[in-house]
Structure 1
Amino acid sequence: MDVRPGREGSLLDAALRAPLLAREEEYELARRWREAGDQQALHALVRSHMRLAMSIARRFRHYGLPVSDLEQEGHVGLLEAAARFDTAHEVRFSTYATWWIRASIQDYVLRNWSIVRGGTSSGQKSLFFNLRRVRAALERAHGGAGAPLLREEMQRSIATALGVEPGEVARMDARLHAPDLSLNATLGAGDEEGSERMEHLVATGPLPDEEVSSQIDGERRGRWLRSALRALNEREMRIIKARRLSEEGETLDSLGARLGISKERVRQIESRAIEKLRIALTKGPGVPRGAFGPA
Protein backbone atom coordinates (compact mmCIF):
# COMPACT_ATOMS: atom_id res chain seq x y z
CA MET A 1 0.00 0.00 0.00
CA ASP A 2 1.69 3.19 -1.21
CA VAL A 3 0.40 6.44 0.26
CA ARG A 4 3.34 8.70 -0.67
CA PRO A 5 2.53 12.12 -2.12
CA GLY A 6 1.97 11.94 -5.86
CA ARG A 7 0.39 8.46 -5.74
CA GLU A 8 -2.79 8.68 -3.62
CA GLY A 9 -2.32 12.14 -2.21
CA SER A 10 -0.67 12.91 1.07
CA LEU A 11 -0.62 10.53 4.02
CA LEU A 12 -2.92 12.88 5.89
CA ASP A 13 -5.47 13.03 3.08
CA ALA A 14 -5.49 9.25 2.80
CA ALA A 15 -5.97 8.91 6.56
CA LEU A 16 -8.86 11.38 6.66
CA ARG A 17 -10.63 9.69 3.76
CA ALA A 18 -10.46 6.22 5.34
CA PRO A 19 -13.67 5.12 7.13
CA LEU A 20 -13.65 3.89 10.70
CA LEU A 21 -14.49 0.21 11.17
CA ALA A 22 -16.65 -1.62 13.66
CA ARG A 23 -15.23 -4.64 15.51
CA GLU A 24 -17.08 -7.08 13.24
CA GLU A 25 -15.69 -5.36 10.12
CA GLU A 26 -12.13 -5.50 11.51
CA TYR A 27 -12.45 -9.20 12.26
CA GLU A 28 -13.91 -9.94 8.84
CA LEU A 29 -11.05 -8.14 7.06
CA ALA A 30 -8.47 -9.90 9.26
CA ARG A 31 -10.12 -13.27 8.57
CA ARG A 32 -10.07 -12.69 4.79
CA TRP A 33 -6.38 -11.79 4.95
CA ARG A 34 -5.33 -14.72 7.15
CA GLU A 35 -7.42 -17.39 5.45
CA ALA A 36 -7.41 -16.28 1.81
CA GLY A 37 -4.45 -13.87 1.57
CA ASP A 38 -6.82 -11.11 0.42
CA GLN A 39 -4.58 -8.07 -0.16
CA GLN A 40 -7.55 -5.74 -0.51
CA ALA A 41 -8.75 -6.74 2.94
CA LEU A 42 -5.29 -6.09 4.39
CA HIS A 43 -5.13 -2.63 2.80
CA ALA A 44 -8.62 -1.74 3.99
CA LEU A 45 -7.68 -2.68 7.57
CA VAL A 46 -4.52 -0.55 7.37
CA ARG A 47 -6.24 2.47 5.78
CA SER A 48 -8.85 2.60 8.52
CA HIS A 49 -6.15 3.02 11.20
CA MET A 50 -3.69 5.35 9.47
CA ARG A 51 -4.80 8.30 11.60
CA LEU A 52 -3.88 6.23 14.69
CA ALA A 53 -0.34 5.76 13.33
CA MET A 54 -0.06 9.48 12.59
CA SER A 55 -1.28 10.43 16.06
CA ILE A 56 1.30 8.19 17.75
CA ALA A 57 4.07 9.44 15.42
CA ARG A 58 3.45 13.06 16.39
CA ARG A 59 4.12 12.24 20.04
CA PHE A 60 7.78 11.68 19.08
CA ARG A 61 8.28 14.96 17.17
CA HIS A 62 10.30 16.54 20.02
CA TYR A 63 13.26 14.27 19.15
CA GLY A 64 14.04 16.59 16.24
CA LEU A 65 13.30 14.14 13.41
CA PRO A 66 11.02 14.96 10.44
CA VAL A 67 7.39 14.27 11.33
CA SER A 68 6.79 12.83 7.86
CA ASP A 69 9.49 10.22 8.48
CA LEU A 70 8.01 9.35 11.86
CA GLU A 71 4.59 8.92 10.23
CA GLN A 72 6.04 6.63 7.57
CA GLU A 73 7.67 4.49 10.28
CA GLY A 74 4.35 4.39 12.10
CA HIS A 75 2.78 3.17 8.88
CA VAL A 76 5.40 0.40 8.70
CA GLY A 77 4.42 -0.71 12.20
CA LEU A 78 0.76 -0.57 11.25
CA LEU A 79 1.36 -2.84 8.25
CA GLU A 80 3.22 -5.29 10.50
CA ALA A 81 0.34 -5.30 12.98
CA ALA A 82 -2.25 -5.85 10.25
CA ALA A 83 -0.26 -8.75 8.82
CA ARG A 84 -0.03 -10.42 12.24
CA PHE A 85 -3.45 -9.60 13.74
CA ASP A 86 -5.39 -12.63 14.96
CA THR A 87 -9.06 -12.32 15.94
CA ALA A 88 -8.48 -15.04 18.56
CA HIS A 89 -6.91 -12.33 20.75
CA GLU A 90 -10.42 -10.85 21.16
CA VAL A 91 -9.14 -7.26 21.25
CA ARG A 92 -9.78 -4.33 18.95
CA PHE A 93 -7.23 -3.96 16.19
CA SER A 94 -6.31 -0.46 17.39
CA THR A 95 -5.24 -1.87 20.77
CA TYR A 96 -3.07 -4.50 19.10
CA ALA A 97 -1.64 -2.12 16.48
CA THR A 98 -0.62 0.56 18.98
CA TRP A 99 2.25 -1.57 20.30
CA TRP A 100 3.63 -2.32 16.81
CA ILE A 101 3.35 1.31 15.71
CA ARG A 102 5.13 2.61 18.80
CA ALA A 103 7.87 -0.07 18.55
CA SER A 104 8.54 0.78 14.90
CA ILE A 105 8.78 4.51 15.60
CA GLN A 106 10.98 4.00 18.65
CA ASP A 107 13.42 1.87 16.66
CA TYR A 108 13.58 4.57 14.00
CA VAL A 109 14.24 7.28 16.60
CA LEU A 110 17.01 5.25 18.22
CA ARG A 111 18.67 4.64 14.84
CA ASN A 112 18.54 8.25 13.71
CA TRP A 113 18.52 10.50 16.78
CA SER A 114 22.31 10.26 17.15
CA ILE A 115 25.21 9.08 15.01
CA VAL A 116 26.25 7.01 18.05
CA ARG A 117 24.17 3.86 18.33
CA GLY A 118 22.47 3.58 21.71
CA GLY A 119 19.49 2.08 23.46
CA THR A 120 20.24 -1.50 22.43
CA SER A 121 18.85 -3.17 25.57
CA SER A 122 15.29 -2.93 26.87
CA GLY A 123 16.52 -1.01 29.93
CA GLN A 124 18.37 1.54 27.78
CA LYS A 125 15.34 1.98 25.52
CA SER A 126 13.16 2.59 28.56
CA LEU A 127 15.67 5.16 29.82
CA PHE A 128 15.90 6.95 26.48
CA PHE A 129 12.15 7.40 26.06
CA ASN A 130 11.15 7.91 29.70
CA LEU A 131 14.06 9.68 31.40
CA ARG A 132 12.82 13.22 30.72
CA ARG A 133 9.25 12.41 31.74
CA VAL A 134 10.20 10.68 35.01
CA ARG A 135 12.73 13.39 35.89
CA ALA A 136 10.15 16.14 35.23
CA ALA A 137 7.64 14.38 37.47
CA LEU A 138 10.20 14.07 40.28
CA GLU A 139 11.20 17.71 39.94
CA ARG A 140 7.56 18.81 40.15
CA ALA A 141 7.09 16.63 43.23
CA HIS A 142 10.10 18.30 44.88
CA GLY A 143 9.07 21.81 43.84
CA GLY A 144 11.86 22.87 41.49
CA ALA A 145 14.01 22.13 38.45
CA GLY A 146 17.17 20.12 38.88
CA ALA A 147 20.65 20.67 37.54
CA PRO A 148 21.48 19.67 33.93
CA LEU A 149 23.24 16.58 35.24
CA LEU A 150 21.23 14.57 37.69
CA ARG A 151 21.87 14.61 41.38
CA GLU A 152 22.61 11.28 43.03
CA GLU A 153 19.27 11.16 44.88
CA MET A 154 17.35 11.74 41.66
CA GLN A 155 19.47 9.16 39.82
CA ARG A 156 18.51 6.56 42.40
CA SER A 157 14.84 7.52 42.23
CA ILE A 158 14.75 7.31 38.42
CA ALA A 159 16.70 4.04 38.45
CA THR A 160 14.15 2.54 40.86
CA ALA A 161 11.21 3.80 38.79
CA LEU A 162 12.58 2.40 35.50
CA GLY A 163 14.25 -0.74 36.87
CA VAL A 164 17.83 0.10 35.88
CA GLU A 165 21.13 0.87 37.64
CA PRO A 166 21.86 4.48 38.77
CA GLY A 167 25.02 4.49 36.65
CA GLU A 168 22.97 3.84 33.50
CA VAL A 169 20.76 6.81 34.38
CA ALA A 170 23.79 9.10 34.68
CA ARG A 171 25.29 7.92 31.38
CA MET A 172 22.02 8.29 29.46
CA ASP A 173 21.37 11.74 30.93
CA ALA A 174 24.85 12.86 29.86
CA ARG A 175 24.19 11.57 26.33
CA LEU A 176 20.89 13.42 26.08
CA HIS A 177 22.55 16.69 27.13
CA ALA A 178 25.68 16.41 24.93
CA PRO A 179 25.47 16.90 21.13
CA ASP A 180 27.34 14.64 18.73
CA LEU A 181 30.77 15.90 17.67
CA SER A 182 32.32 14.77 14.42
CA LEU A 183 36.03 13.97 14.48
CA ASN A 184 36.21 15.37 10.94
CA ALA A 185 34.82 18.77 11.97
CA THR A 186 37.28 21.65 11.59
CA LEU A 187 38.31 23.70 14.59
CA GLY A 188 37.60 27.42 14.91
CA ALA A 189 39.85 30.30 15.85
CA GLY A 190 43.18 29.57 17.48
CA ASP A 191 46.48 27.93 16.69
CA GLU A 192 44.72 24.86 15.30
CA GLU A 193 42.23 26.77 13.13
CA GLY A 194 41.28 24.84 10.00
CA SER A 195 42.53 21.48 11.27
CA GLU A 196 40.26 18.55 12.10
CA ARG A 197 39.57 17.27 15.60
CA MET A 198 40.98 13.88 14.63
CA GLU A 199 44.41 15.42 14.07
CA HIS A 200 44.64 16.38 17.74
CA LEU A 201 43.72 13.01 19.29
CA VAL A 202 46.51 11.66 21.48
CA ALA A 203 47.38 8.00 20.99
CA THR A 204 48.35 6.35 24.28
CA GLY A 205 49.52 3.05 22.77
CA PRO A 206 52.97 2.26 21.40
CA LEU A 207 53.98 3.43 17.93
CA PRO A 208 53.90 0.85 15.10
CA ASP A 209 57.71 0.62 14.95
CA GLU A 210 57.79 0.04 18.73
CA GLU A 211 55.23 -2.76 18.43
CA VAL A 212 57.22 -4.45 15.66
CA SER A 213 60.48 -4.04 17.58
CA SER A 214 58.89 -5.52 20.71
CA GLN A 215 57.54 -8.47 18.73
CA ILE A 216 60.91 -9.18 17.12
CA ASP A 217 62.71 -8.94 20.47
CA GLY A 218 60.17 -11.27 22.05
CA GLU A 219 60.64 -13.88 19.33
CA ARG A 220 64.44 -13.60 19.66
CA ARG A 221 64.31 -14.04 23.43
CA GLY A 222 62.03 -17.05 22.96
CA ARG A 223 64.59 -18.72 20.70
CA TRP A 224 67.40 -17.99 23.16
CA LEU A 225 65.39 -19.43 26.06
CA ARG A 226 64.49 -22.61 24.17
CA SER A 227 68.15 -23.06 23.28
CA ALA A 228 69.28 -22.47 26.89
CA LEU A 229 66.76 -24.97 28.27
CA ARG A 230 68.64 -27.74 26.45
CA ALA A 231 71.41 -27.34 29.06
CA LEU A 232 69.10 -28.73 31.78
CA ASN A 233 68.61 -32.38 32.64
CA GLU A 234 65.13 -33.92 32.81
CA ARG A 235 64.47 -33.24 36.51
CA GLU A 236 65.78 -29.68 36.32
CA MET A 237 63.53 -29.07 33.30
CA ARG A 238 60.45 -30.36 35.17
CA ILE A 239 61.16 -28.12 38.16
CA ILE A 240 61.81 -25.00 36.06
CA LYS A 241 58.64 -25.55 34.01
CA ALA A 242 56.53 -26.11 37.13
CA ARG A 243 58.02 -23.23 39.12
CA ARG A 244 58.92 -20.58 36.51
CA LEU A 245 57.20 -21.30 33.19
CA SER A 246 53.61 -21.91 34.29
CA GLU A 247 50.80 -19.42 34.91
CA GLU A 248 50.77 -20.20 38.64
CA GLY A 249 54.09 -21.46 39.93
CA GLU A 250 53.85 -24.69 41.90
CA THR A 251 54.97 -24.57 45.55
CA LEU A 252 58.14 -26.26 46.78
CA ASP A 253 56.07 -28.53 49.03
CA SER A 254 53.71 -29.82 46.33
CA LEU A 255 56.50 -30.21 43.79
CA GLY A 256 58.69 -32.07 46.27
CA ALA A 257 55.83 -34.43 47.15
CA ARG A 258 55.23 -35.13 43.47
CA LEU A 259 58.93 -35.81 42.78
CA GLY A 260 59.50 -37.76 46.01
CA ILE A 261 62.13 -35.35 47.41
CA SER A 262 62.18 -32.66 50.11
CA LYS A 263 61.21 -29.07 49.40
CA GLU A 264 64.79 -28.00 50.29
CA ARG A 265 66.13 -30.39 47.64
CA VAL A 266 63.67 -28.87 45.11
CA ARG A 267 64.96 -25.40 46.00
CA GLN A 268 68.58 -26.49 45.49
CA ILE A 269 67.86 -28.06 42.10
CA GLU A 270 65.91 -24.97 41.04
CA SER A 271 68.80 -22.67 42.02
CA ARG A 272 71.28 -24.82 40.11
CA ALA A 273 69.02 -24.88 37.04
CA ILE A 274 68.60 -21.11 37.09
CA GLU A 275 72.38 -20.67 37.23
CA LYS A 276 72.79 -23.00 34.23
CA LEU A 277 70.21 -20.96 32.30
CA ARG A 278 71.92 -17.68 33.20
CA ILE A 279 75.26 -18.95 31.92
CA ALA A 280 73.74 -20.40 28.74
CA LEU A 281 71.80 -17.20 27.99
CA THR A 282 74.64 -14.77 28.60
CA LYS A 283 77.18 -16.85 26.68
CA GLY A 284 74.93 -17.78 23.81
CA PRO A 285 75.78 -16.51 20.28
CA GLY A 286 74.57 -12.99 19.59
CA VAL A 287 73.01 -12.39 22.99
CA PRO A 288 73.51 -8.74 24.04
CA ARG A 289 74.57 -8.05 27.59
CA GLY A 290 71.59 -7.23 29.79
CA ALA A 291 69.02 -8.71 27.39
CA PHE A 292 67.48 -10.69 30.25
CA GLY A 293 68.15 -8.26 33.05
CA PRO A 294 71.06 -8.22 35.49
CA ALA A 295 72.97 -11.44 36.02
Structure 2
Amino acid sequence: MGKSLQVIEHLSPGSNVNAYVQTVGSIPILTADEERELAERLFYQNDLEAARQLVLSHLRFVVHIAKSYSGYGLPLADLIQEGNVGLMKAVKRFDPSVGVRLVSFAVHWIKAEMHEFILRNWRIVKVATTKAQRKLFFNLRSQKKGLGWMTNDEVSAVAEDLGVDSAVVRQMEGRMASSDTAFDGAPDTDDDVVAWSPSMYLEDVDADPAMQLEESNWEERSQQSLLAAMGDLDERSRDILMQRWLNEEKATLHDLAAKYEVSAERIRQLEKNAMKKIRGAMTLEA
Protein backbone atom coordinates (compact mmCIF):
# COMPACT_ATOMS: atom_id res chain seq x y z
CA MET A 1 0.00 0.00 0.00
CA GLY A 2 3.03 2.29 0.18
CA LYS A 3 2.86 3.32 -3.46
CA SER A 4 -0.89 4.00 -3.25
CA LEU A 5 -0.28 6.15 -0.21
CA GLN A 6 2.12 8.29 -2.21
CA VAL A 7 -0.46 8.73 -4.97
CA ILE A 8 -3.15 9.74 -2.49
CA GLU A 9 -0.83 12.28 -0.91
CA HIS A 10 -0.08 13.66 -4.36
CA LEU A 11 -3.78 13.91 -5.21
CA SER A 12 -4.97 14.94 -1.75
CA PRO A 13 -7.16 18.06 -1.85
CA GLY A 14 -5.29 21.19 -0.89
CA SER A 15 -6.36 24.77 -1.42
CA ASN A 16 -7.98 23.89 -4.75
CA VAL A 17 -10.62 21.30 -3.93
CA ASN A 18 -12.39 21.78 -7.27
CA ALA A 19 -9.26 20.77 -9.19
CA TYR A 20 -8.97 17.66 -7.03
CA VAL A 21 -12.61 16.75 -7.64
CA GLN A 22 -12.13 17.13 -11.39
CA THR A 23 -8.98 15.02 -11.29
CA VAL A 24 -10.48 12.08 -9.42
CA GLY A 25 -13.65 12.36 -11.53
CA SER A 26 -11.63 11.76 -14.66
CA ILE A 27 -10.28 8.42 -13.38
CA PRO A 28 -12.21 5.60 -15.12
CA ILE A 29 -14.59 3.45 -13.07
CA LEU A 30 -13.65 -0.22 -13.01
CA THR A 31 -15.97 -2.86 -14.37
CA ALA A 32 -16.95 -5.75 -12.10
CA ASP A 33 -14.50 -8.06 -13.88
CA GLU A 34 -11.63 -5.54 -13.71
CA GLU A 35 -12.29 -4.91 -10.04
CA ARG A 36 -12.39 -8.62 -9.21
CA GLU A 37 -9.13 -9.24 -11.07
CA LEU A 38 -7.34 -6.42 -9.23
CA ALA A 39 -8.80 -7.47 -5.89
CA GLU A 40 -7.62 -11.05 -6.38
CA ARG A 41 -4.13 -9.87 -7.34
CA LEU A 42 -3.98 -7.83 -4.13
CA PHE A 43 -5.57 -10.42 -1.87
CA TYR A 44 -3.65 -13.48 -3.08
CA GLN A 45 -0.41 -11.96 -4.41
CA ASN A 46 -0.12 -8.73 -2.37
CA ASP A 47 0.13 -6.77 -5.65
CA LEU A 48 0.59 -3.13 -4.61
CA GLU A 49 -0.05 -1.85 -8.14
CA ALA A 50 -3.48 -3.51 -7.99
CA ALA A 51 -4.12 -1.78 -4.65
CA ARG A 52 -3.17 1.56 -6.20
CA GLN A 53 -5.62 1.14 -9.05
CA LEU A 54 -8.41 0.05 -6.70
CA VAL A 55 -7.91 3.11 -4.51
CA LEU A 56 -7.67 5.57 -7.40
CA SER A 57 -10.79 4.27 -9.13
CA HIS A 58 -12.85 4.79 -5.96
CA LEU A 59 -11.70 8.28 -4.96
CA ARG A 60 -14.77 9.79 -6.64
CA PHE A 61 -17.00 7.87 -4.21
CA VAL A 62 -15.14 9.37 -1.24
CA VAL A 63 -15.83 12.85 -2.62
CA HIS A 64 -19.52 12.01 -3.04
CA ILE A 65 -19.80 10.80 0.56
CA ALA A 66 -17.81 13.77 1.91
CA LYS A 67 -20.22 16.22 0.27
CA SER A 68 -23.11 14.62 2.16
CA TYR A 69 -21.47 15.78 5.42
CA SER A 70 -21.02 19.40 4.33
CA GLY A 71 -23.66 20.54 6.84
CA TYR A 72 -21.29 20.12 9.78
CA GLY A 73 -19.29 23.21 8.86
CA LEU A 74 -15.99 21.37 8.43
CA PRO A 75 -13.68 21.78 5.40
CA LEU A 76 -14.56 19.46 2.52
CA ALA A 77 -10.85 18.83 1.90
CA ASP A 78 -10.42 17.47 5.44
CA LEU A 79 -13.44 15.21 5.12
CA ILE A 80 -12.12 13.86 1.82
CA GLN A 81 -8.70 13.14 3.32
CA GLU A 82 -10.26 11.27 6.24
CA GLY A 83 -12.47 9.35 3.83
CA ASN A 84 -9.42 8.42 1.74
CA VAL A 85 -7.89 6.85 4.84
CA GLY A 86 -11.02 4.77 5.30
CA LEU A 87 -10.95 3.77 1.62
CA MET A 88 -7.36 2.52 1.88
CA LYS A 89 -8.22 0.52 5.00
CA ALA A 90 -11.15 -1.04 3.14
CA VAL A 91 -9.02 -1.93 0.11
CA LYS A 92 -6.47 -3.59 2.36
CA ARG A 93 -9.16 -5.75 4.02
CA PHE A 94 -11.30 -6.47 0.95
CA ASP A 95 -11.89 -10.17 0.25
CA PRO A 96 -12.99 -10.72 -3.39
CA SER A 97 -14.39 -14.16 -2.57
CA VAL A 98 -17.25 -12.59 -0.61
CA GLY A 99 -18.93 -11.61 -3.86
CA VAL A 100 -19.74 -7.94 -3.26
CA ARG A 101 -18.45 -4.84 -5.02
CA LEU A 102 -15.68 -2.92 -3.29
CA VAL A 103 -17.75 0.26 -3.01
CA SER A 104 -20.40 -1.58 -0.96
CA PHE A 105 -17.72 -2.82 1.41
CA ALA A 106 -15.72 0.41 1.56
CA VAL A 107 -18.60 2.78 2.30
CA HIS A 108 -18.68 1.69 5.93
CA TRP A 109 -14.93 2.29 6.39
CA ILE A 110 -15.12 5.65 4.64
CA LYS A 111 -18.02 6.86 6.78
CA ALA A 112 -16.40 5.56 9.96
CA GLU A 113 -13.30 7.72 9.42
CA MET A 114 -15.42 10.76 8.55
CA HIS A 115 -17.64 10.24 11.60
CA GLU A 116 -14.61 10.05 13.87
CA PHE A 117 -13.19 13.25 12.35
CA ILE A 118 -16.51 15.11 12.71
CA LEU A 119 -16.91 14.10 16.36
CA ARG A 120 -13.34 15.16 17.13
CA ASN A 121 -13.62 18.56 15.48
CA TRP A 122 -17.27 19.64 15.48
CA ARG A 123 -17.07 20.85 19.08
CA ILE A 124 -14.19 21.34 21.52
CA VAL A 125 -16.27 19.44 24.07
CA LYS A 126 -17.29 16.05 22.70
CA VAL A 127 -21.03 15.70 22.16
CA ALA A 128 -20.91 11.90 21.77
CA THR A 129 -18.51 9.46 23.39
CA THR A 130 -20.22 6.07 23.42
CA LYS A 131 -21.17 4.06 20.33
CA ALA A 132 -24.87 4.58 21.05
CA GLN A 133 -24.41 8.35 21.41
CA ARG A 134 -22.52 8.53 18.11
CA LYS A 135 -25.29 6.67 16.31
CA LEU A 136 -27.88 9.00 17.85
CA PHE A 137 -25.83 12.09 16.92
CA PHE A 138 -25.71 11.32 13.20
CA ASN A 139 -29.23 9.97 12.99
CA LEU A 140 -30.63 12.98 14.81
CA ARG A 141 -28.83 15.34 12.45
CA SER A 142 -30.43 13.63 9.47
CA GLN A 143 -33.93 13.36 10.97
CA LYS A 144 -34.33 16.91 12.28
CA LYS A 145 -36.66 18.81 9.96
CA GLY A 146 -35.55 22.34 10.82
CA LEU A 147 -33.17 24.49 12.78
CA GLY A 148 -35.61 25.02 15.67
CA TRP A 149 -36.26 22.74 18.62
CA MET A 150 -38.18 19.56 17.85
CA THR A 151 -41.75 19.18 19.02
CA ASN A 152 -42.75 16.45 21.44
CA ASP A 153 -44.25 14.46 18.58
CA GLU A 154 -41.02 14.71 16.58
CA VAL A 155 -38.95 13.67 19.60
CA SER A 156 -41.22 10.67 20.20
CA ALA A 157 -40.99 9.65 16.55
CA VAL A 158 -37.18 9.86 16.50
CA ALA A 159 -36.92 8.00 19.80
CA GLU A 160 -39.13 5.22 18.46
CA ASP A 161 -37.16 4.96 15.19
CA LEU A 162 -33.82 4.77 17.01
CA GLY A 163 -35.03 2.62 19.90
CA VAL A 164 -34.05 5.06 22.67
CA ASP A 165 -35.85 7.03 25.35
CA SER A 166 -37.26 10.48 24.49
CA ALA A 167 -35.16 12.04 27.26
CA VAL A 168 -31.99 10.78 25.54
CA VAL A 169 -33.07 12.43 22.28
CA ARG A 170 -33.73 15.72 24.09
CA GLN A 171 -30.33 15.53 25.79
CA MET A 172 -28.50 14.99 22.49
CA GLU A 173 -30.52 17.78 20.84
CA GLY A 174 -29.38 20.13 23.61
CA ARG A 175 -25.75 19.12 23.16
CA MET A 176 -25.96 19.69 19.42
CA ALA A 177 -27.60 23.09 19.86
CA SER A 178 -24.86 24.34 22.17
CA SER A 179 -21.83 26.20 20.88
CA ASP A 180 -18.23 26.62 21.98
CA THR A 181 -17.39 29.69 24.04
CA ALA A 182 -13.92 31.10 24.58
CA PHE A 183 -12.86 30.79 28.22
CA ASP A 184 -11.13 34.18 28.15
CA GLY A 185 -12.59 37.26 26.57
CA ALA A 186 -11.05 38.41 23.29
CA PRO A 187 -8.31 41.00 23.85
CA ASP A 188 -9.95 43.53 21.54
CA THR A 189 -13.35 43.50 23.29
CA ASP A 190 -14.41 46.13 25.82
CA ASP A 191 -14.45 45.54 29.57
CA ASP A 192 -18.22 45.11 29.75
CA VAL A 193 -18.04 42.11 27.42
CA VAL A 194 -14.95 40.60 29.03
CA ALA A 195 -16.68 40.76 32.41
CA TRP A 196 -19.13 38.10 31.19
CA SER A 197 -16.48 35.68 29.90
CA PRO A 198 -16.31 32.31 31.74
CA SER A 199 -12.87 33.11 33.15
CA MET A 200 -14.47 35.83 35.29
CA TYR A 201 -17.06 33.63 37.00
CA LEU A 202 -15.71 30.07 36.72
CA GLU A 203 -12.71 30.65 38.93
CA ASP A 204 -11.70 27.61 40.95
CA VAL A 205 -10.61 29.00 44.31
CA ASP A 206 -9.28 25.60 45.36
CA ALA A 207 -6.75 25.78 42.51
CA ASP A 208 -5.21 29.04 43.82
CA PRO A 209 -1.62 28.17 44.90
CA ALA A 210 -1.73 30.77 47.69
CA MET A 211 -4.96 29.33 49.07
CA GLN A 212 -3.61 25.79 48.81
CA LEU A 213 -0.44 26.76 50.72
CA GLU A 214 -2.43 28.58 53.39
CA GLU A 215 -4.78 25.64 53.84
CA SER A 216 -1.88 23.20 53.99
CA ASN A 217 -0.13 25.30 56.66
CA TRP A 218 -3.36 25.60 58.65
CA GLU A 219 -3.93 21.83 58.58
CA GLU A 220 -0.35 21.17 59.65
CA ARG A 221 -0.60 23.63 62.57
CA SER A 222 -3.95 22.15 63.59
CA GLN A 223 -2.53 18.65 63.63
CA GLN A 224 0.47 19.75 65.68
CA SER A 225 -1.78 21.61 68.14
CA LEU A 226 -4.07 18.58 68.46
CA LEU A 227 -1.16 16.22 69.12
CA ALA A 228 0.26 18.60 71.73
CA ALA A 229 -3.12 18.98 73.44
CA MET A 230 -3.67 15.21 73.44
CA GLY A 231 -0.27 14.76 75.05
CA ASP A 232 -1.35 16.88 78.02
CA LEU A 233 -4.31 14.62 78.83
CA ASP A 234 -4.14 11.70 81.25
CA GLU A 235 -3.93 8.26 79.70
CA ARG A 236 -7.59 7.33 80.30
CA SER A 237 -8.99 10.57 78.84
CA ARG A 238 -6.66 10.31 75.86
CA ASP A 239 -7.78 6.71 75.23
CA ILE A 240 -11.46 7.69 75.46
CA LEU A 241 -11.04 10.42 72.84
CA MET A 242 -9.03 8.15 70.58
CA GLN A 243 -11.66 5.40 70.65
CA ARG A 244 -14.64 7.75 70.49
CA TRP A 245 -13.39 10.12 67.75
CA LEU A 246 -10.15 9.09 66.04
CA ASN A 247 -10.35 5.34 65.48
CA GLU A 248 -12.05 3.95 62.35
CA GLU A 249 -14.33 1.76 64.47
CA LYS A 250 -15.84 4.08 67.08
CA ALA A 251 -16.39 2.69 70.57
CA THR A 252 -19.68 3.32 72.39
CA LEU A 253 -20.03 4.80 75.87
CA HIS A 254 -21.05 1.38 77.16
CA ASP A 255 -17.98 -0.28 75.60
CA LEU A 256 -15.67 2.13 77.41
CA ALA A 257 -17.72 1.91 80.60
CA ALA A 258 -17.18 -1.84 80.64
CA LYS A 259 -13.45 -1.41 79.91
CA TYR A 260 -12.85 1.04 82.78
CA GLU A 261 -15.53 -0.43 85.09
CA VAL A 262 -17.42 2.83 85.48
CA SER A 263 -20.84 4.03 84.36
CA ALA A 264 -21.56 5.23 80.83
CA GLU A 265 -22.44 8.63 82.28
CA ARG A 266 -18.95 8.85 83.84
CA ILE A 267 -17.36 8.09 80.45
CA ARG A 268 -19.51 10.86 78.92
CA GLN A 269 -18.28 13.33 81.58
CA LEU A 270 -14.65 12.35 81.04
CA GLU A 271 -15.10 12.76 77.28
CA LYS A 272 -16.72 16.17 77.72
CA ASN A 273 -13.95 17.42 80.02
CA ALA A 274 -11.23 16.12 77.71
CA MET A 275 -12.83 17.84 74.71
CA LYS A 276 -13.02 21.08 76.68
CA LYS A 277 -9.30 20.87 77.47
CA ILE A 278 -8.48 20.12 73.84
CA ARG A 279 -10.46 23.14 72.58
CA GLY A 280 -8.86 25.40 75.16
CA ALA A 281 -5.33 24.29 74.27
CA MET A 282 -5.89 24.64 70.53
CA THR A 283 -7.45 28.09 70.98
CA LEU A 284 -4.36 29.26 72.84
CA GLU A 285 -2.13 27.84 70.10
CA ALA A 286 -4.11 29.72 67.44
Q: Which range is displaced more, 186-195 or 265-274?
A: 186-195
Aligned counterpart, 2:218: 217
Letter in 2 for 1:63: Y
Q: Map 1:91-170 onto structure 2 (within 5 A).
A: 91-136=100-145, 148-151=148-151, 154-155=154-155, 157-170=157-170
Q: 1:189-238 CA distances to partner (integer Å, 9 max, x unpaired)?
A: 87625778355335363665444333222211111112222345666545
Is structure 2 residue 266 aligned with structure 1 residue 268?
A: yes
The question of 1:78 aligning with 2:76 is answered no
SS in structure 2 of the partner of residue 126 of structure 1 = helix
Give deviations 1:255-275, integer Å, cap 9, x for gaps: 459x6578x835532531442
CA distance in 1, matches of 2:75, 2:114: 12
Higher relative contact order (CA 8 A, sep 6+): 2
Cα distance in structure 2, aligned partners of 1:250 and 1:26: 81
Equivalent residues, number: 273
Q: 1:189 to 1:213 in 2, by over 3 A?
A: closer
Asked if the contact 1:53–1:78 (Cα under 8 Å) also holds between the matched residues in 2, the reply is: yes
Within 1, Cα distance between the matches of 2:57 and 2:179? 39
2:277 to 272, 276, 279: 279
Q: Is the 8 A contact 1:30 1:87 kept in 2?
A: yes
- Encode CA deviations 1:158-184: one digit per residue, 9 max, x unaligned: 344334454443333223323322234
Q: 1:160 to 1:213 in 2, by over 3 A?
A: farther
Q: Output aligned runs, 1:168-207, within 5 Å.
A: 168-186=168-186, 192=192, 197=197, 200-203=200-203, 205=205
Match of 1:14 in 2: 24
Aligned-pair distance for 1:79?
0.6
More displaced 10-residue stretch of structure 1: 73-82 or 274-283: 274-283
In structure 2, the residue matched to 1:292 is none
SS of residue in 2 equivalent to 1:34: helix
> Structure 1: how far apart are the matches of 2:174 and 2:125?
13
Superposed displacement of residue 135, structure 1: 3.9
Deviation at 1:134, TM superposition (A): 3.2
Would you say 1:4 and 2:12 are equivalent positions? Answer: yes
Counterpart of 2:50 in structure 1 is 41
- 1:58 deviates by 1.4
Contact 1:32 1:41 in 2 (8 A): yes
> TM-score, structure 1 length as denominator?
0.74
Distance 1:205 1:16, change over 3 A: same
**Residue type at the aligned position of 1:55:** H
Contact 2:244 2:252 in 1 (8 A): yes
TM-score (norm 2): 0.76
Displacement after TM superposition at 1:115 (Å): 2.9
Distance 1:267-1:232 versus aligned 2 partners, 3 A rule: farther
- By how many angstroms is 1:108 displaced? 1.5
Identity %: 30
User: In 2, are the aligned partners of 1:236 and 1:273 still within 8 Å (CA)?
Assistant: yes
User: In structure 2, how many angstroms separate the alpha carbons of the residues matched to 1:245 and 1:153?
Assistant: 59
* Runs of at least 5 residues in structure 2 that lack an aligned partner in the other structure: 1-6
What is the root-mean-square deviation of aligned Cα atoms in Å?
3.6
